Amino acid sequence: MTPAEWKRKAVHAGMGLFALSLRWLDGNTAAVFAGAALAFNVWVMPRIGRSLYRQGLPRRRDPGIVSYPAVVLVLLLVFGKTDLPLVACVWAMMAFGDPAAAIAGRTVGGPALPWNREKTWIGLAADAAMAYVTSLAVFAFVAARAPGEDTALVLLAGAAVYAFLESVRSGLDDNVVAALPTALVLYWLNGHWPPPVEPGAASSVGAFAVALGVNVAVAAAMGASRVVRPSGAVAGAVAGFAILAAGGWRAYGVLWAFFLLGTLATRLGYRRKAAAGTAQADQGRRGAAHVAANCLVPAALLLLGLPAAAFAAAFGAALADTLGTEVGTLYGRRAFSPLTFQALPPGTPGAVSLPGTAAAALGAALVAAAAWALGLVTVPAAAVAALGGFLGALSESWLNDFGRRTGFSLDHEFANALNTFIGAMVALRFGVA
């Protein structure tokens, strides 16, 4: 940690003390102040505060310094009228969890995280611990009451989610990646704690044993047949166990529909794609990172007890993305920008084609149809899931095209997970169970 980094982290944490003002301010007034802070960081900080910029940053504006008040403003606009303590808690996690992770990770060190070699287990633990302790304290002050046991458990889950998301390699600023999803998790848990158990989910030791045994056997078979990589077999067993235990056999069937259709799409025209240099590496055998990117959000949705339409939309987005990429690679002769519709060379980040877009829509519809056929969702919910899955898949193209124009690049696995998250959020927005 250089002196400049210590100064940057101190200012970052110090701004979190303004979260305490939400005890007296209403959401609209606080949003005005957050908007003023955002304007200051956009137009004034480049002139007077470049000493706080990350070292070696060539841009005129530091993304972290801009995104911090921008995220607070979004939180206030979304939750300011209904739940200011929630905004204050997430603000505290942003303000104190991030510096704690950086300081502990760089000064103590330790083993690196397997999903991000630039960050450590010590930093992750420090982030979660500081986010939890400070969110508890800020909640007590802003709400003017001590947090009850349920609130403490919800904030513990939120701090864990925040720390994990901040540790993920994304290509976007950590404030954006971690804070907004954490706020959504807290909002849902605040009204649905403890999470309900889905019909057909494991509710006994014996049922859990069956879920574990089935997925261990499947992982062994997949690994032995070399359908997936060894790491993919292990990660798939973990994801399959969580989905079967939390969602039952119907949700497990949706997982298999996604896996089988996605595998077939990857193998479709593999030689042609390999000759063109666009095929998945290792004969399309997927590893743990791919499993996590596509299954983490759907599994979390079940564990949180969210509607089945969101679960189906998440897997629909994952399959839509896979089919769109594989079919577009094979048959998409003309590519274009999804934002401006300008013609682009095939393979340009964010570019789409008509065959790929049609295949994406088909993929989302197939998962939704499978969820309906298995009795997991109703017809209206299946329609919402199909829409959410399709829009979730398109979101990656929109963001990659926007990033190509503005200078950022999404990490591939993070983008896949983001697809599933956005697909689920679209389904939740329509409120169909």
- Average pLDDT on 7-14 reads 87
Entry pTM: 0.75
Spatial CA neighbour of 297 closest among 282, 312, 275, 286: 312
* Beta-carbon count within 10 A of 405 CB: 12
- pLDDT at residue 150, as a whole number: 87
Is pLDDT of 399 > 90?
Answer: no
The pLDDT-based confidence of 275 (bands split at 50, 70, 90) is low
The better pLDDT of the pair 249, 184 is held by 249
The amino acid present at 400, given as its one-letter code, is N
Question: Rounded to whole angstroms, how far apart are CA atoms 112 and 371?
Answer: 39
- pLDDT at residue 132, as a whole number: 96
The pLDDT-based confidence of 278 (bands split at 50, 70, 90) is low
- Average pLDDT on 328-352 reads 84
Lowest pLDDT segment from 1-15, 48-62, 380-394: 48-62
Q: Which structure tokens are listed for 233? A: 């077999």
Residue 119 has φ and ψ, to the nearest 5°, of -125, 160
The better pLDDT of the pair 147, 409 is held by 147
- pLDDT at residue 211, as a whole number: 84
The pLDDT-based confidence of 195 (bands split at 50, 70, 90) is low
Is pLDDT of 428 > 90?
Answer: no
Q: Would you list the domain boundaries of the chain?
A: 3-191, 263-430
- pLDDT at residue 281, as a whole number: 57
Residue pLDDT, tens place only, 36-76: 999 998 888 888 766 766 665 555 667 778 889 999 999 99
Is pLDDT of 184 > 80?
Answer: yes
Is pLDDT of 349 > 90?
Answer: no
The pLDDT-based confidence of 109 (bands split at 50, 70, 90) is confident
The amino acid present at 62, given as its one-letter code, is D
Q: Which residue has the tokens 């169970």?
A: 433
Size of the chain, expressed as the number of residues it contains:
433
The pLDDT-based confidence of 280 (bands split at 50, 70, 90) is low
- pLDDT at residue 269, as a whole number: 75
State the DSSP H helix or E strand holding residue 117, giving kind and residue range, or none if neither: strand 116-120
Is pLDDT of 371 > 70?
Answer: yes
State the DSSP H helix or E strand holding residue 335, giving kind and residue range, or none if neither: strand 335-336
| Rg for the chain, CA atoms, rounded | 22
The better pLDDT of the pair 170, 72 is held by 72
